[in-house]
A and B are shown apart, each in its own frame.
Chain A
Amino acid sequence: MIGLLRKHRFFRSHPLRASYDAVVIGGGAHGMATAYYLAKDHGMKNVAVVEQSYIGAGASGRNTTIIRSNYLTPEGTRFYEASVQLYKTLSQDLNFNMLFSQHGHLTLAHSDRSVNTMMERAEVNRLLGVDSRVIFPDEIKELEPMLDVSDHPTFPILAALYHPPGGIIRHDAVVWGYAKEADRLGVEIHPYTQVTGITRQNGRVTGIETNRGRISAGTVISCTSGWSTLVGRLAGIEVPITTHILQACVTEPVKPLLRKIIVSGTLHIYISQSDRGEFVMGSEIEPYSGYSNRGTFRFIEDLAMHMVELLPMLGRARILRQWTGLCDVSPDYAPIMGLTEADGFLIDAGWGTYGFKASPIVGKTMAELGATGRTPDLIAPFRLSRFYENELVSERGAAAVSH
């Protein structure tokens, strides 16, 4: 309660200066975390974060807030597990309650082939010390009584991958928590500052141009999700990414009764109930690429149809609003992180539908790279050059099914 009496300003505004040691493009969870760890872990405090809109306006404020580490590949599992570990104490570390609740995460299997994929994920996870296992309808029913585990649905539930540490968090609070602490450490946050150009001299990136003026910087780190290809192009870097919209929606608040996060890859849906009582739901990315932020009607129709099959009690709940966000999808459904051909220009992109849950570890590793110039082992597999070396990371099995 003491915290309530303390009156302080979480973020201050600053005039834009002509030079910084490092500039982070993108004021979302990734950008803020990167700036925070630059200041906190590496003592780099002369850092600016530039954001074209308000902070957290992009994917950080549009995702469905799920945190988990039950990935398919050892690389993916280790990476996200490191992220979950950071998330666990983030509220205390940043002194900002992000309402992280590890209620558990159920990925449903409706075909024997997906049962096999679950088995594989469970086993990879188990070997790497991540808590997840395959459970069957009786136990599913016990964990989540709302689910219809009978053979009535068109796609009956055969099994589920149960991941107890999976949880949800208040997504905006992650951005704000990092921003607040970064601000306290001296990082300048510049909202409504749009990057219009990236300057290069002899191949090296030397700064950026914005609608508010020119900035020179030793290091420029792009953390811009949907806009990565456009920002990359400003620096003369081609990133093999297509941008798609992902849609989500939320219901009116009702008294909480859903305990777990439920995901069904076959039905292309996932759902959780927030502490406010709203059901937060989403689907797959749209197959076409584009930057239109216009939601489709087909999305809520199909979603509703599949939801009432799994969770018949939802029939009378009401969808309150739907929205879209932009997703950067790389050819192997794994992120692109690290150095580029342009010295001084680092990229953090290709986060598809799985970027938010990686925010802390992205910040930590990108900051380490930005400050030391050395690529941490954890993100080495995700380097941009892997597409030229044909060293892809196969994460399709776990990541193509959004959450």
Chain B
Amino acid sequence: MNRLAERRGELIDRGRTVTFTWRGKTVEGLAGDSVASALYADGVRVFSRSFKYHRPRGLLCCSGQCPNCLVQVDGDPAVRACMTPIEEGMRVEHINAWPSLERDALHALASATPAFGMQVGFYYKTFMRPRWAWKYYEKFLRSAAGLGKLDPQHRRDRRYEKVHRHVDVLVIGGGESGLEAAIAAAREGRDTALVEEGLALGGRLAFTGVDAAARAAELAAAAREAGVEILQPAWAGGVYEGNLVPVYQGDTMFRFRAGEIVLATGLIEQPLVFAGNDLPGVMLASGVRRLVNQFRIATGDEAVVLTVDDLGIEAACDLAEAGVTVSAVVDTREGETDERLGVCGIEHLRGFRPVEARGRGHVSSVVVARGGERRSLSTDLVVMSGGTVAQFGALVQAGGSVHYDAARRVYVPDHVPAGVRVAGEPAGTAAEVPACADGGRGKQFVCYCEDVTTKDVNLSVKEGFASLELSKRYTTVTMGPCQGKMCHRNSGLVIARELGVDPDEQRVGVTTARPPHNPTSFSLLAGRGYEPVKRTSVHHWHADRGGKMLWAGDWKRPYDYGAPDDETAAVHESLGLIDVSTLGKLIVRGPDAAAFLERVYPNRYGDMKLARVRYGIVCGDDGSILDDGTVARLSETEFYVTTTSSGAGGMEQWFTWWNAVWGMDCQIVNVTSAIAAFNLAGPNARTALAGLTDFDLENEAFPYLGAGHAEVAGVPCLLLRIGFVGELGYEIHCPAAAGEHLWEALMAAGEGFSVKPFGLEPQRVLRLEKMHVIVGQDTNAESQPLEAGMPWIVKLDKENDWIGRYSIEWYQNRGNRTSLVGFEGGNGAVPKEGAQVVVNGEPVGRVTSSRFSRRLGKAIGIAWVPADLSAEGTPITLSDPSGATIPASVTLRAFYDPDQERLRS
């Protein structure tokens, strides 16, 4: 194993080896290694192929900021090798290379293409003609696109957890400043948590030498002692409204709500822009120092350091100490040889700038220049220290802002929002950074993720994309997996130079740092994924007896029990029972209850007698039908209101809102879930129910549209004599806790009458026979009662105002344009719901409900037709999605029991 001598601060456990595979070959690493460090120690230098040109790429940042070490691990398509600890048996594969990482077909193709072939935006200027050929061009483009591969067979797994946490202080970043802030907060007695993304606490301290490592360990110990909860390695996904910070650790997402957030997110070291700056062997100084100090790997035989600041000098010293020959430190700054370099005997080339790195597949030399003087230095490692920028993403997401200070050459915070604090070096280090290197041959990469070069950016500006935002969208610089961490500053510098303006101009400026901080998997975000469902008290009874349970709004309801026609027949001929517990149920109570309903509904309630039920619709201000249901008067001051199943929540809101607006003296209580309701329907309903109650059910005592309290099967119930299905029926409302008992009692009582439970589908047929409208199916958001065939419900002579009155009066004056009518199919064919009413092939109306009624032996339905086609008996033509044309005729009376004889029997 090729490792340097043991030293404080290293992350590896030399006593424990871990084996995994890289592209099928077994690799041995040490416990504590990242996938990247283990592979690097094993001699791997090329980790991936780039997005566009498929150029070989090696390690660059070793801190999860760049795209170069993205690999596929156990089917996971985009894992950052440098941030992922190795595990026994891990299968690691490369991505985006074919047929192999060493020899890639698309790289060969890209190299052979003329220079202008894949210039920026080439696809906007080509592949247009002939028009039909685009799909073939596109097929090729798609085959070359993308990085990793998703497994099409991947099934959802539910091992992901979400945990809700509340803390006083959440510190993002476990570097020196973050640790100090956390310690201070915890010592004040505040509940404090700290999140650190790296493989070690301490930030820069963790990889910059023995003394620094000691200080990091000391701070970490102090933090633990002070009671700071440390999540590491874990990362914060962003800062959202209300100081919500999702933190990811392993398979768990912590949804942190923090009283205060401390942003100690530190700095990101930046690459320098010169030809060949993407060759394997060209690395960031901090990346090299991590490999040397944390994983104890000598990163080459001979190194050249290119720097704009002192960080490069420190890296050179680390390398020298590790036994690597540092041929030179090339420093853009003028001045004397730095003392530290002098001690190590390293040449300090001051005032030089990088021009070009050369090498085939790996760097072998680097050319630097000072004015006209050029020097070529042979090397197998080029270390770049291009200055640092602050990680300001979290600050911007929190509602703060930053700007580029051209004089100081750093991004500085302008505004820090309340509840957020910034710690450490939020401004980055000031250094004069060359925008790009002139004179070199080959591509100078501004953006590693998307393979964007200075030439691309310059061309975009020349073509008129003369701002950072436009150039970004045209060249895709900053839009790749690193989201600008490696390229935002450099692209701004290049554009400013091309435009001839300062980088703090409006046209350059700062692009938005959008969440998430790191690419986040769907699985982590989804968690186990609970989807709430409402079930009635009899749900399991239905399911156990073959009820086909389907979604109906938030509820699951039985569609049928396997034989819908038999269920329909049972209701017509003898007895059926349906669970209607999903109906919305509101109690409106108080001195103003009647007056309130008078204002909400278009029809009258003030004159309603006790123990009676009335059908009602609720309209919006625009006169449209919002919902329908029944209203039972239980006392002078109390009404029991039912709504549609899906309308319960909306109606509760609607009622509550208006009650507040009008300041009326009544209470509105939503009892939907507390009350179960069943409809016992059929000619034998009275006889069957009579066996369970002493309540007088006879027609004289309890006529159609009556309401009364009764004890049924020992359960206190509210009986409503109403029907949606055209036969004698009782709607029985009882406490939900007794629902199953009552249901079973009703089924037992009906046994002698061959009672059948019936589902939604038979109910739809039965109600259609009665031409009852289903709000939401037969009506839409703009249907109003005059046109929907319910002019009788609108009481324009009511003395009080009511919601929708103005609009409905307006419609009354205008006259109907369309009409909701019944129809009978002419040739027995049943048009599909959604079929169109056509005149001369033009759609002029639509079928909203249609079924074949066995009872009536014909196809029946409800449709919207133009007003001039709405008279009884008018022939209409329906165009069915099957392509058939179906003749039909308009019917205005209920198809079944039009005189309500059976209903009132």
Contacts and interface: CB of A to CB of B under 8 A. Distances in A.
Given A10-B465, A170-B124, A253-B147, 18 more contacts: A1-B117, A4-B117, A7-B462, A96-B125, A97-B128, A101-B134, A101-B135, A123-B843, A176-B124, A294-B397, A297-B244, A304-B522, A305-B525, A308-B529, A315-B523, A316-B75, A316-B522, A332-B782
Contact of B516 (A89, A91, A315, A322): A322
A109 B705 CA distance: 38
A57 B834 contact: no
A211 B78 CA distance: 46
B473 A295 contact: no
Interface in B543-582: 550-552, 559
30 contacts: A4-B116, A4-B126, A8-B463, A10-B465, A88-B131, A91-B134, A97-B124, A97-B134, A113-B777, A116-B777, A123-B834, A123-B881, A124-B836, A256-B142, A275-B141, A294-B241, A294-B399, A295-B514, A295-B515, A297-B237, A297-B240, A308-B156, A309-B156, A312-B154, A313-B151, A314-B150, A314-B522, A317-B77, A317-B150, A320-B481
Nearest to B777: A113
Interface string A289-322: 0000011110011011101110011111111111
A9 B463 contact: yes
B599 interface: no
Contacts of A117: 834
B481 A252 contact: yes
- Ranked 4 nearest A-B pairs via Cβ: A119-B834, A277-B146, A120-B834, A318-B519
B128 A297 contact: no
Interface stretch (A127-135, A353-361, A365-373, A374-382): A127-135
Counting chain B CB atoms within 10 Å of each CB, the highest count among A54, A98, A294, A296 belongs to A54
Interface in A221-258: 251-257
Interface stretch (A16-24, A200-208, A388-396): A388-396
A11 interface: yes
Contacts of B413: none
B516 A254 contact: no
Contacts of B128: 3, 91-92, 95, 97
A321 B529 contact: no
A118 B810 contact: no
Contacts of A134: 881
A233 B613 CA distance: 50
Interface string B112-143: 00001101001111111101001100100111
A315 B155 CA distance: 8
Contacts of B836: 120, 123-124, 127
A301 B151 contact: no
A86 to B, nearest CB: 14
B607 to A, nearest CB: 31
B17 interface: no
A224 B113 CA distance: 42
Contacts of A180: 464
A56 interface: yes
Contacts of B470: 54-56
A128 B154 CA distance: 41
Interface string B785-822: 00000000000000000000001001100100000000
B520 A315 contact: no
A265 B846 CA distance: 21
Interface in A47-100: 53-57, 61, 74, 88-89, 91-92, 95-100
Q: Which among B481, B525, B782, B835 has the greatest number of chain A C-beta atoms within 10 A? A: B525
Interface in B134-189: 134-135, 138, 141-143, 145-157
A154 B533 CA distance: 9
Nearest to A333: B781
A212 interface: no
A143 B520 CA distance: 29
Contacts of A56: 470, 473
Give chain A's interface residue range (CB within 8 Å of chain B): 35 or more
B842 interface: yes
B438 interface: no
Nearest to B151: A313
A192 to B, nearest CB: 6
Nearest to B461: A9
A192 B507 contact: yes
Contacts of A111: 550-552
Interface of A: 1, 3-13, 53-57, 61, 74, 88-89, 91-92, 95-101, 110-113, 116-124, 126-128, 133-134, 145-146, 154-155, 170, 172-173, 176, 180, 183, 191-192, 251-257, 275-277, 294-297, 300-301, 303-305, 307-309, 312-323, 331-332, 390, 392, 394, 396-397
Given A1-B126, A61-B473, A301 B526 contact: yes
Contacts of A294: 240-241, 397, 399
Nearest to A276: B145
Interface residues of B, number: 104
B147 to A, nearest CB: 5
A120 B154 contact: no
A142 to B, nearest CB: 15
A257 B150 contact: yes
A390 B784 CA distance: 12
A154 B158 CA distance: 14
B77 A316 contact: yes
A100 B524 CA distance: 33
B104 interface: no
Max chain B Cβ within 10 angstroms of own Cβ: one of A4, A122, A180, A323: A4
Contacts of B145: 253, 255-256, 275-277
A356 B135 CA distance: 22
A14 to B, nearest CB: 12
Given A119-B881, A313-B153, A314-B150, A172 B474 contact: yes
A192 B509 CA distance: 13
B469 interface: yes
A124 B879 CA distance: 9
Contact of A145 (B78, B152, B466, B841): B152
B399 A154 contact: no
Given A4-B116, A8-B463, A305-B529, A275 B522 contact: no
A322 B522 CA distance: 13
B700 interface: no
Interface string B498-520: 00000000110000101110011
B473 A99 contact: no
B147 A315 contact: no
Given A315-B157, A390-B810, A297 B152 contact: no
A124 B507 CA distance: 47
A119 B835 contact: yes
A191 B466 CA distance: 10
Contact of A5 (B116, B622, B835): B116
B522 A315 contact: yes
B522 A307 contact: yes
B832 interface: yes
B792 to A, nearest CB: 22
B899 to A, nearest CB: 31
B2 interface: no
